Chains A and B, each alone.
Chain A
Amino acid sequence: MTITSAGPTTPLVPAAPPAAPQEPADTVTFTIDGIETSVPQGTLVIRAAEELGIQIPRFCDHPLLAPAGACRQCLVEVWAPGRDGNPAKMPKPQASCTLEATPGMDVRTQHTSAEADKAQHGVMELLLINHPLDCPVCDKGGECPLQNQAMSNGRATSRFVDVKRTFPKPISISTQILLDRERCVLCQRCTRFSEEIAGDAFIDLQKRGAQQQIGTFDTQVLGYVGDAPVGESTEDVSGKPFASYFSGNTVQICPVGALTSAAYRFRSRPFDLVSTPGISEHDSNGSAIRVDHRRGVVLRRLAGDDPAVNREWISDKDRFAFTWQSAPDRLTTPLVRRPGADGSRGELEPASWVEALGAAAAGLRAAESVGVLAGGRLTLEDAYAYGKLARVALGTNDVDGRARPHSDEEEAFLAHHVAGRTLEVTFADLDRAPAVLLVGLEPEEEAGVLFLRLRAAALHHGTRVLSVAALATRGLTRLNGTLLAAAPGTEAEVLDGIVDGADDELGSAAEMLAADGAVVLVGERLAGVPGGFSAVLRLAARSGARLAWVPRRAGERGAVEAGLLPTLLPGGRPVADDAARAELAAAWRVDELPAVPGRSTSQIVAAARDGSLGALVVGGVDPADLPDPALARDALDRVGFLVSLEVRPSEVTERADVVLPVAPPVEKPGTFVTWEGRPRPFPQALVSHALPDHRVLDRLAAELGVDLGLATVNDVHAELDRVGGWSGARVAAPDVEAAEPPAVAPGTAVLATWHQLLDAGRLQQGEPHLAGTAKRPTARVSAATAAAAGVADGDLLAVSTDAGTVTIPVAVSDMPDHVVWLPTNAPGSAVRDTLHADSGTLVRIASAGTTSTITTLGEA
């Protein structure tokens, strides 16, 4: 990766600079075990001891949770200067996890104080009294803080002879999370996590004394006689008032085996597992994860520790949705369609790589023009290879990585504001921001970890969250957010209304956004609103707020940086710019690059359908995600020649002429780029013969007579460094007029929709326990709209267009009238596939009876 020649010296996606050292605060000097140490004021004794390498046993203490002092395991002997200035011993041992260091304090841990040691032994004995001897069957066995600390700080033998207190076990808190109350040491890490971090408390401490326990509010389970919870609760698929996207974190931080996950229950032991660091492939946050695998099978994923990105938390989708990578239907060999003797298209049959690549190259050569569609889940390396294949080997700019609703305005926005501008807004900036405006973005559903970071900023740093959306979700409520209500299609109008001096909420929003450090986060959904991105850019210019684009999928930002857009080359180089093309042609060692701007995804689909594109190369695209799935399927059926690169069989592979199997993220090294523009490289976890996309494309190009030079991930990285960023002129900012919102006739409503985190997505297949924790698919309308349609809360609502009808239960919510909200891709509510509609479309709504007729929703 040495750069020897003159030219751009910054890599295409530069790594984040190391975190700046914290400004020195007031320090406190005191001693622990006779070692003098200076720590910032307010530091807890247990934390200062950690810094010195002194281990104090603990269960309830967690650096990211507020001190609780619940387990009492970290008792130490403390001497502090008294009124006379002489050190005086505190009468009882103190919990070091709640004790702040003070000047002159003398702390003696179990290493130097017999009293502290005895106190810790006593606490451990008490904790173990009712702890079952479950270790052989407990999932935590082998990595259990209780087990370890009972060995290091407990008695070797038990003095307890009576009968232990037992509970029926385990109880299912959700289909995924299981609670074994006898194992619980009441440290309250789980309840504190759900209150302080996720904000969706679902379990809490109940009862007193020996019967004290963690439990759900479910009266059936605990035999409770009393009131149901007052707080607002959402029913999940299992019908319980619980829907948390972050519950898996409680399993990971539980210091005993009280909380376990159904997915990992009894699957393995820690010593079986090989751990590889990884990056979650589910959203654009690039959460650090740990992939634990045994004999080539991934058994679980845990949150990694990355203070700059996800801290120690990940969403349940990141944690549990990994079985798709090893699904039994994985494509293992290339497939080639051999025409039947009767002239039919024939069936796909397994073929060798040589044959398949030869057939693919022959087909592509025969076609006069080829388009490339690549999905949003590709790594940076793979996205780069798709772009280079199109431009160098296929000689076209007809390449687009946006497998979702998109617009030319969005493309101009990405080229103008996003591409090549990495790490301008980061997670850390959210903590410092006085206000964050969300536009077309529902963080809890579309970027789980971003939601947690926003919530931490809102709670601890006073960040005000504003959201331009059709309704205030429970997620926005938990962010203490303010809704700037906008019916779908009117977002641009609302954004333009955020001006100083405007009355009510818009005026105060303008005031907040004018403050130094304010941030506007705009989601990919704004592409469906004509004039939306233009209005956002105007707002950012007007208020001085910084602007960042938060796509939903992991590969979207990397695709923008890699130039997977019809008018954009890698590093933000505009296709229309001769100098940019010349610079890239020199870096790619080709004479020239195609100068004609390419077609977007929709145009490629249309061109393939009408025959003006003779062949398509499609990778990682599900037609159901495209703006018009029926049109896309028709185009895939009609196109002359179709090459598909896929991990598993899909609607594309079944229509393809050549199918080339590629590796899922766990079987290849690569890099995801977060919405901040932070590169998140990850290593290969499993030994595999599957090839990454860039390797397959490199070989395909070789068959076409072109050397892409992208055979290995190192080759790609070297080339990314060589290509570097673009310092020339950017694409001009888009300036699109907002469209006039459609007139709403009686019986119709404007559709608002976004994806839920857990839905019918392809990457969540094969994990029924996770699917059970999804929110129950529900339509939302305002009270007036519901009354007009003749439905009551809980009734079935039929939402229909000319293409089809979605019938799901309705919840009456506080939202604008004449708007109906649907989950985009929930089981039973495939908005694009069934309705061929999206946000802003007019749909018909009507009552469809009561919910009693609904059967339980199975796995999607």
Chain B
Amino acid sequence: MAEPRKKPAVAKAAPGKAAPGATAPGKGVAPRKPAGEVGAPADGYRSVVPPATGLRAAFAPVGGFGVTISNMFRGTVTEEYPSEKVPAKPRYHGRHQLNRYADGLEKCIGCELCAWACPADAIYVEGADNTPDDQHSPGERYGRVYQINYLRCIFCGLCIEACPTRALTMTNEYELAGPTRAGMIWEKQDLLAPLREGMLAAPHPMVEGTTDTEYYRGEVSGPTDAQRAWVREHRPDDPTLPEGAGVEAANVPGETAAEMARLVAGANKQGAR
């Protein structure tokens, strides 16, 4: 602090050095740019748009209102959300979904490639062993824990591209909001695609005589009698059995998903006209 404070240097334009076309000397001139910065061109800016002439020049001061006035006669574009919901485009990046094979086994193998690809670190996966008594997906490995944190997710879709089994895809669902942090972390049960008619809820063994390759190739078209018999033996009350209560009863949404659905429905009701 020994150095005395200097007065801010105000560059004075030397009349002799003023470039032709520059503003009148004596008024404030911009301070000199440090080396390397781009300053105004020496000959000043010139518009490439030809100046208006005649009638156009006369109406120029109010010409801008033309845009306003012309819009008075157009239809409204206000989205009446949430009273009316416009469907998103088919490729809209919405909430994720963990898909199933036709026989109800999960496609996710817990490989964590989605978590690896995620630029926002929004996905957390833990794998585990499939055992004969507890087979969730074809092959040796399944995703035991699957979490997506929708406070972090930026819906970029890199996880979808990384998924080797197309287990993870995105839906068009965009109503994702909630008042708590914990309520924004979706677990596997929340993300799993609902069972469709004819599917058999996992865990159950793979179709007999197949390997994971047949599943990847789409050669499994639905549950077999042996799989149903296994489920009947281990979970006699399973609603997805032919004699069960049906997939509607089986498709119980996860806790977080249900809570968010409740909240969104409430908000929609409040916001609707």
CB-CB under 8 A for A266 and B128, given A136-B113, A272-B112: yes
Nearest-neighbor residue (CB-CB) of B127 within chain A: A266
Chain B 93-134 interface 0/1 with A at a Cβ cutoff of 8 Å (1 = within): 000000000000000011111011000000000111100000
A141 at the interface (CB under 8 A from B): yes
List 27 A-B pairs, Cβ < 8 Å. A136-B109, A136-B111, A136-B113, A136-B164, A136-B165, A137-B109, A137-B110, A137-B111, A137-B139, A137-B140, A137-B141, A141-B111, A142-B116, A169-B140, A170-B140, A265-B129, A266-B127, A266-B128, A266-B129, A267-B126, A267-B127, A268-B112, A268-B127, A269-B112, A271-B116, A272-B112, A272-B115
B110, B113, B127, B139 interface centre (most CB from chain A within 10 Å): B127
Please give the number of chain A residues whose Cβ is less than 8 angstroms from any Cβ of chain B in the complex: 13
Cα of A136 to Cα of B109 in the assembled complex, Å: 8
Residues of A contacting B116 with CB < 8 Å? 142, 269, 271
How many whole Å from B107's CB to the nearest CB in chain A?
12
> Which A residues are CB-close (under 8 A) to B112?
268-269, 272
Main secondary structure of the interface of A (DSSP, over half): loop
A144 to chain B, nearest CB (A): 13
Contacts of B165 in A (CB 8 A): 136
Further pairs besides A141-B111, A266-B140: 5, Cβ < 8 Å: A136-B109, A136-B111, A137-B111, A137-B127, A266-B128
Residue B110 contacts which of A170, A266, A271 (CB distance < 8 angstroms)?
A: A266
Size bracket, chain B contacts: 10 to 19
Q: What are the 9 A-B residue pairs with the smallest beta carbon separation, nearest first?
A: A136-B111, A266-B127, A137-B141, A136-B164, A269-B112, A266-B141, A137-B109, A266-B129, A266-B128
Find chain A residues with CB under 8 A from B128 CB: 266
What residues on A are CB-neighbors of B111 within 8 Å? 136-137, 141
A427 to chain B, nearest CB (A): 39
Report Cα–Cα, A265/B126, bound state, in Å.
11
C-alpha gap A666/B178 in the complex (Å): 39
Query: What residues of chain B lie closer than 8 Å to A268, measured between beta carbons?
Result: 112, 126-127
* B residues apposed to A, CB below 8 Å: 109-113, 115-116, 126-129, 139-141, 164-165
Inter-chain CA distance A272–B127, complex, in Å, is: 12
Specify the chain B residue showing the minimal Cβ separation from A133: B164
Q: What chain B residues lie within 8 Å of A170 (beta carbons)? A: 140
Chain B residue with Cβ nearest A169: B140
| Per-residue contact bits, chain A 160-179, to B (CB 8 Å; 1 contact, 0 not) | 00000000011000000000
> What residues on B are CB-neighbors of A141 within 8 Å?
111
Give the residues from 129 to 182 in chain A that come closer than 8 angstroms, CB to CB, to chain B.
Answer: 136-137, 141-142, 169-170
CB distance from B248 to the nearest CB of A (A): 33
Chain A residues with CB under 8 Å of B129's CB are 265-266
Chain A's closest residue to B130 (CB) is A266
Chain A residues near B110: list those with CB within 8 A. 137, 266
Complex: chain B residue closest to A132, CB-CB: B213
Please report the C-alpha to C-alpha distance between residue A268 and residue B129 in the assembled complex, in whole angstroms: 12
Identify the closest chain B residue to A164 (Cβ). B213
**CA distance in complex: A269, B128 (Å):** 12
Question: In the complex, A272→B125 CA distance in Å?
Answer: 10
Alpha-carbon distance A269/B111, docked complex (angstroms) = 8
Which residues 513-528 of A sit at the B interface, judged by CB distance below 8 A? none
Q: How far is the CA of A400 from the CA of B7 in the complex (A)?
A: 77
Instruction: Give chain B nearest CB distance to A169 CB in angstroms.
Output: 8
Residues of A within 8 A of B164 (CB): 136
- Nearest chain B CB to A260 CB, angstrom units: 10
Residues of B within 8 A of A266 (CB): 110, 127-129, 140-141
Question: Interface digits, A253-272 against B, CB 8 Å rule (1 contact, 0 not)?
Answer: 00000000000011111011
User: Across the interface, which residues of B come within 8 angstroms of A267, CB to CB?
Assistant: 126-127
A265 to B140, CA, bound (A): 10
| Residue of chain A at shortest CB distance from B216 | A133
Determine how close the nearest CB of chain B comes to the CB of A40; give it in whole angstroms.
Answer: 42
The interface residues of chain A lying within 8 Å CB-to-CB of B126 are 267-268
Q: Which residues of A contact B139 (CB under 8 A)?
A: 137
List the A side residues contacting B140 at CB < 8 Å. Answer: 137, 169-170, 266
Closest residue of chain A to B142 (Cβ to Cβ) is A266
Distance of A415 from chain B, by nearest CB (Å): 52
Q: Which residue of B lies closest to A272 (CB)?
A: B112
How far does the alpha carbon of A271 sit from the alpha carbon of B141 in the complex, in Å?
A: 18
A267 vs B113: C-alpha distance in the bound complex, in angstroms?
Answer: 14
Residues of chain B lying within 8 A (CB to CB) of residue A142: 116
Cα of A271 to Cα of B117 in the assembled complex, Å: 11
Task: Note all chain B residues with C-beta closer than 8 A to A269.
Answer: 112, 115-116
